[in-house]
A and B are shown apart, each in its own frame.
Chain A
């Protein structure tokens, strides 16, 4: 009986840990090359960024992984995009770089760049992440561009966070690529 009680107690502790997990996604890609000195997209996959996301759409055939946000593909197919999960009411993504950069511009390749224009996200907020927390941010309220370029100056930035507002409760967010340009 004592053994059962101990096992039950251990399991209950595990249950608390399980319930308290927030289930967000995070992956760090291995660095494949040193970043150049000139203006470049420092979120590219081979520079070894860390990608975090509130969720992703993870069907067997249609797995829209957050790493596709930084794969640098110029002609992706429909699968090679990040899509939030259907249950995700507050989708967000973060791209964290290995070192600080002076961010100048953010380019987002929305769903409309490959798929239907109606799937492009129109409301979102770009937040520059710095060592001390949040830096400058930019709120986009009515985006219509399939490939949207947003000026966002942020010195010694460590990353970028984008928070999306789905048009409808069950809508999922679809983004093919996020580019962060600067030095």
Chain B
């Protein structure tokens, strides 16, 4: 295979990844309230003066780094005349989807490097090429292409790519850093320290964004040490301090103490187990979730990872370490463990790629046996390709729904519709948690959870509730009438003078 053909295949995979992310951007429903209230709404509130402030932000348990990152883009967009919060939120989601394409690079590079470790010519940088005389493809290209394909198209990962969550940002840092580690650990001869610095910065950033992802940096450093890259390990560790210091400084400037939010966060979530107030799950929950997402494909991925464990161990150990660490926490959510998937996909891709790259000449030379060997090799390739297809199809079949089924996109769309009405002066809704906050409302008027006393307040011009809820009837009695509907959600508008609460009770 020539390098040109591999590049064309890689280009096609990148295009596929982009198309799938565009589809996710268009159709993916909200995943978790935190993607709005923890990472967008604080920035929106600072820029517009109006934003829901959750208890985490009142208690200083969150860092301003990620909202600040979003806030800078928001400020630019506002300066360019984009003031609609839902439009800005969608643009930020598109931005994360675009950044998540870095996983395709990670899949390509990681799959290639690990497959090279597993292949017959583990020290060869390139293959012998084809008969056309073109530049030959790099050794391990099969693993690279499979890794890129899985990272580009694995449905759950594609879905998750648009969400403005700290997990997403940290996953990109961690996976790319681990692939850089593979590069540093496996490349013979001198390698640039710049790569080690970049890797360290990514690891430090990943830890600060999501401390629960800490098994990845531990494994990465261990990998370098076992590969006798002591100087590079030291450089990476030193470089990882840079983002940590930056996070600490931001905490000092915003919350008044170095690492103040970080300390609060770790104390509340990991030491005191405070997150258990949001629900507890058995320690096996993450494994149940993996099987729920990939009932047929997970054994295939697991088998591939184990078969090639001598090369894939850093990725497998990182994925298992993450799952074990998270399993010790009483409160569990699927987003916490999303890093598991790219790690396992890249590891499995490398093994699959190594097997796809087996050459007939390498396994048999005798004329009588050659046909038989060739048949067997092609059979193995077909099985591998079928297995990969099963992983993707299985992932698509079981990739729907999430932890918060109440997060109806219709509620968000209805909220945006209300915000765009010229006569709106206030909104009452049934579920503040499952809306897009003030950013999606994009108006500075009050919006509050509906209660009968507030129906009498003249400021509240609109009501947003499910069609089948009791609140619809109560609002109609208070002088509201339906003006908009989207699936199961309806919007009612005040059409009469406010009535008293006692009149509502009658």
| Segment at the interface with A among B53-61, B257-265, B293-301, B305-313 | B53-61
30 sample A-B contacts, Cβ–Cβ < 8 Å, listed by A number:
A11-B72, A14-B76, A18-B43, A18-B47, A18-B71, A18-B72, A19-B68, A23-B46, A25-B444, A26-B49, A29-B425, A29-B445, A53-B49, A55-B49, A59-B53, A60-B432, A61-B432, A61-B448, A61-B449, A63-B447, A65-B445, A67-B425, A67-B426, A67-B446, A68-B457, A71-B457, A73-B457, A77-B454, A79-B454, A85-B53
Contact of A80 among B73, B76, B457 (CB under 8 A): B457
Which residues of A are in contact with B by a Cβ distance under 8 Å? 10-15, 17-19, 21, 23-27, 29-30, 45-46, 53, 55-61, 63, 65, 67-68, 71-73, 76-77, 79-80, 85-86
Question: For residue A17, which residues in chain B have a CB less than 8 angstroms away from its CB?
Answer: 72, 75-76, 78-79
In the complex, how many angstroms separate the beta carbon of A41 from the nearest chain B beta carbon?
14
Question: For residue A56, which residues in chain B have a CB less than 8 angstroms away from its CB?
Answer: 50
Contact between chains at B445 and A80 (CB < 8 Å):
no
- Chain B residue with Cβ nearest A25: B49
Complex Cα spacing A80 to B426, Å: 12
Contacts A15-B72, A61-B432 known; A77 to B459 CB distance under 8 Å?
no
Complex Cα spacing A21 to B43, Å: 10
Of residues 152 to 211 in B, which have CB atoms within 8 Å of A's CB atoms? none
Contact between chains at A63 and B76 (CB < 8 Å):
no
Does B51 belong to the interface (CB within 8 Å)?
yes
Does B6 belong to the interface (CB within 8 Å)?
no
Contact between chains at B458 and A72 (CB < 8 Å):
yes
Contact between chains at B459 and A67 (CB < 8 Å):
yes
Does B91 belong to the interface (CB within 8 Å)?
no
Contact between chains at B68 and A18 (CB < 8 Å):
yes
- Chain A residue with Cβ nearest B59: A86
Contact between chains at A13 and B76 (CB < 8 Å):
yes
Contacts A18-B75, A45-B459, A58-B50 known; A26 to B432 CB distance under 8 Å?
no
Question: For residue A60, which residues in chain B have a CB less than 8 angstroms away from its CB?
Answer: 52, 54, 432-433, 449
Contact of B50 among A13, A25, A30, A61 (CB under 8 A): A25
Complex Cα spacing A18 to B46, Å: 8
Question: For residue A11, which residues in chain B have a CB less than 8 angstroms away from its CB?
Answer: 72-73, 76
The number of inter-chain residue pairs (CB within 8 angstroms) is 111
Complex Cα spacing A71 to B50, Å: 18
Does B45 belong to the interface (CB within 8 Å)?
yes
In the complex, how many angstroms separate the beta carbon of B21 from the nearest chain A beta carbon?
19
Does B423 belong to the interface (CB within 8 Å)?
yes
Add 19 more A-B contacts to A29-B445, A58-B53 (CB < 8 A).
A11-B73, A14-B73, A14-B75, A15-B72, A18-B74, A21-B47, A24-B49, A27-B444, A30-B423, A53-B49, A58-B52, A59-B52, A60-B449, A61-B432, A67-B459, A68-B446, A68-B459, A79-B448, A80-B457
- Chain A residue with Cβ nearest B432: A60
In the complex, how many angstroms separate the beta carbon of B121 from the nearest chain A beta carbon?
34
Question: For residue A46, which residues in chain B have a CB less than 8 angstroms away from its CB?
Answer: 458
Complex Cα spacing A21 to B75, Å: 9
- Chain B residue with Cβ nearest A46: B458
Contacts A15-B72, A67-B446, A67-B459 known; A21 to B46 CB distance under 8 Å?
yes
Complex Cα spacing A86 to B50, Å: 15
Question: For residue A79, which residues in chain B have a CB less than 8 angstroms away from its CB?
Answer: 448, 451, 454
Complex Cα spacing A23 to B44, Å: 9
Complex Cα spacing A56 to B454, Å: 19
Complex Cα spacing A57 to B54, Å: 10
In the complex, how many angstroms separate the beta carbon of B440 from the nearest chain A beta carbon?
14
Complex Cα spacing A103 to B422, Å: 31
Question: For residue B453, which residues in chain A have a CB less than 8 angstroms away from its CB?
Answer: 77
Residue-wise, chain B 66-103 has the 8 Å CB interface mask toward A (1 for contact) of 00100111111011000000000000000000000000
- Chain B residue with Cβ nearest A72: B458
Question: For residue A55, which residues in chain B have a CB less than 8 angstroms away from its CB?
Answer: 49
- Chain A residue with Cβ nearest B435: A60
Contacts A21-B47, A23-B47, A29-B425 known; A63 to B446 CB distance under 8 Å?
yes
> 5 closest Cβ contacts across the A-B interface?
A14-B72, A25-B49, A17-B75, A65-B446, A14-B76
Contact between chains at B448 and A63 (CB < 8 Å):
yes
Complex Cα spacing A60 to B57, Å: 12
Question: For residue B445, which residues in chain A have a CB less than 8 angstroms away from its CB?
Answer: 27, 29, 65, 67
In the complex, how many angstroms separate the beta carbon of B371 from the nearest chain A beta carbon?
52
Complex Cα spacing A53 to B45, Å: 13
In the complex, how many angstroms separate the beta carbon of A52 from the nearest chain B beta carbon?
9
Question: For residue A29, which residues in chain B have a CB less than 8 angstroms away from its CB?
Answer: 425, 445, 459
- Chain B residue with Cβ nearest A63: B448
In the complex, how many angstroms separate the beta carbon of A47 from the nearest chain B beta carbon?
12
Contact between chains at B76 and A45 (CB < 8 Å):
no
Question: For residue A57, which residues in chain B have a CB less than 8 angstroms away from its CB?
Answer: 53
Complex Cα spacing A56 to B49, Å: 9
Most buried by A among B72, B78, B445: B72
Complex Cα spacing A23 to B454, Å: 27
Contact between chains at A15 and B68 (CB < 8 Å):
yes
- Chain B residue with Cβ nearest A73: B457
In the complex, how many angstroms separate the beta carbon of A40 from the nearest chain B beta carbon?
16
In the complex, how many angstroms separate the beta carbon of A46 from the nearest chain B beta carbon?
7
Complex Cα spacing A29 to B446, Å: 11
In the complex, how many angstroms separate the beta carbon of B73 from the nearest chain A beta carbon?
6
Complex Cα spacing A146 to B71, Å: 40
Contact of A59 among B43, B55, B459 (CB under 8 A): B55
Question: For residue A58, which residues in chain B have a CB less than 8 angstroms away from its CB?
Answer: 45, 50-53
Complex Cα spacing A61 to B449, Å: 6
Question: For residue A71, which residues in chain B have a CB less than 8 angstroms away from its CB?
Answer: 457-459
Complex Cα spacing A57 to B45, Å: 12
Complex Cα spacing A93 to B115, Å: 65
Complex Cα spacing A21 to B49, Å: 9
Complex Cα spacing A18 to B20, Å: 32
- Chain B residue with Cβ nearest A59: B53
Contact between chains at B423 and A80 (CB < 8 Å):
no
Question: For residue A30, which residues in chain B have a CB less than 8 angstroms away from its CB?
Answer: 422-423, 425
- Chain A residue with Cβ nearest B58: A86
Contact between chains at A63 and B423 (CB < 8 Å):
no
Question: For residue A67, which residues in chain B have a CB less than 8 angstroms away from its CB?
Answer: 425-426, 445-446, 459
